[in-house]
Amino acid sequence: MAAEGEVKRLGKLTVALGTLTDKNVKLVKLLNGVAFPVSYNENVYEEILQHPDYGRLAYYNDVMVGAICCRVEKGGTNGHAAKRLYIMTLGVLEKYRRHGVATQLMEYVLKKLETETDIEAVYLNVQTSNSAAIAFYEKFGFKNVKTAENYYRANIDPPHAYVLFRPRDLDATDVTYE
Ligand SMILES: CC(C)(COP(=O)(O)OP(=O)(O)OC[C@H]1O[C@@H](n2cnc3c(N)ncnc32)[C@H](O)[C@@H]1OP(=O)(O)O)[C@@H](O)C(=O)NCCC(=O)NCCS
């Protein structure tokens, strides 16, 4: 057992990644329903299906334990013709957290971006109290670039979100959020 104050390390679970389809999007909805404090509108799932290249489901022993869903957006820094990737949802079932599942989903997305040079950055919104997700994204080089006050319309406390942003190429100093 980990001593008080010591972080318990649980070891990596290697997951298989599957594609997002109109057949399994319901599973993603179920997963997000238990993983997130907010529930997403139906149109979020319709949108997710428009960007299947950036939607991945993580399976451990044939059980879906996590998923990442993104959309590609037009518009980059200072009117660059570039695009951005917006992470709409990234969730892992509670029992499977701290086993590197979200890391494998994020690594998949970042690897895919290496081949899509017209996408200059990745960003997302996260509830200001979500320290687990903030620590997770910081590990991948995301920076907190803005506080979006009253971002969440649902009755959740706090209702505010941070915008976390990272250029696709971490050393690209000319790629900024604004
Ligand atoms: C955020 C979330 C997706 C992380 O998933 P996960 O599979 O547990 O993440 P990983 O195991 O890959 O974690 C990688 C690293 O992120 C950081 N991290 C993850 N969870 C953390 C936590 N609770 N506290 C501190 N750091 C954390 C750690 O540095 C961790 O590495 P380590 O375990 O070797 O210390 C998961 O907690 C989750 O589903 N939360 C609810 C949904 C959500 O808030 N999604 C994010 C908003 S889109």
Q: Is residue 105 part of a domain?
A: yes
Q: Is residue 9 part of a domain?
A: no
Among 97, 124, 125, 166, residue to substitute to test ligand 1 (most atoms within 8 Å of Cβ): 97
Q: Is residue 3 part of a domain?
A: no
| Per-residue pLDDT reduced to its tens digit, 37-79 | 888 889 999 999 999 999 999 999 999 999 999 999 997 666 5
**Domain carrying residue 92:** 16-167
Is any atom of ligand 1 closer than 6 Å to the C-beta of 126?
Answer: yes
Which residues share a beta bridge with 165? Answer: 123, 143
**How many whole angstroms from 21 Cα to the centroid of ligand 1?**
25
Q: Count up the domains in the chain and report the number.
A: 1
Is any atom of ligand 1 closer than 6 Å to the C-beta of 101?
Answer: yes
Q: Is residue 174 part of a domain?
A: no
The SS3 call for residue 18 is strand
Is any atom of ligand 1 closer than 6 Å to the C-beta of 144?
Answer: no
**Which CATH number fits the domain that encloses residue 34?**
3.40.630.30
Q: Is the pLDDT of residue 4 over 90?
A: no
Q: Which has the closest alpha carbon to 69: 19, 104, 117, 112?
A: 19
Burial class (CB in 10 A: 0-12, 13-18, 19+), 79: exposed
Q: What does pTM read for this prediction?
A: 0.94
Q: Is residue 178 part of a domain?
A: no
Is any atom of ligand 1 closer than 6 Å to the C-beta of 99?
Answer: yes
CA distances 55 to 43, 139, 148, Å, are 15, 21, 25
Q: Which has the closest alpha carbon to 147: 178, 125, 132?
A: 125
